[in-house]
């Protein structure tokens, strides 16, 4: 299994972008279900605060471009607006980042 992280935070994106891709609590269940059924990973976790939105996907076919496409589609934000603002980490780097954020 492979771990993938795709995210934006206060260092990588302006507030106007972070606000548009933040998940409100009422959306999380729907978003998680949609992410898994869209094939982002066998398991998906979403971390969304005022300063960051991060999507962690675990699976064999994890793909950063697919996660970015899904995030864009889910929030109705042009993919081009997100491309320069996102960061991607894989496997041990993604796990290290997750532990640092936690």
H or E element that contains 77: none
CB-based contact 66:8 (threshold 8 Å): no
Catalytic residue among 1, 15, 28, 50: 50
Decide if 85 is catalytic.
Answer: no
CB-based contact 55:35 (threshold 8 Å): yes
Backbone angles phi, psi at 40, to 5 degrees: -70, -30
- From residue 88, alpha-carbon distances to 8, 27, 39, 81, 93 in Å are 9, 23, 18, 16, 9
Catalytic residue IDs: 50
């Amino acid at each position: 299994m492979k771990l993938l992280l795709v995210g934006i935070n206060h260092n990588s994106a302006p507030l106007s972008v972070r606000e548009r891709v933040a998940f409100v609590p009422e959306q999380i269940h729907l978003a998680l279900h949609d992410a898994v059924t869209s094939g982002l990973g066998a398991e998906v976790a979403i971390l969304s605060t005022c300063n960051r939105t991060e999507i962690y996907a675990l699976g064999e076919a994890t793909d950063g471009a697919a996660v970015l496409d899904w995030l864009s589609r889910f929030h109705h934000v042009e993919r081009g607006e997100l491309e320069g603002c996102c960061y991607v980490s894989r496997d041990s780097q993604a796990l290290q980042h997750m532990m640092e954020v936690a």
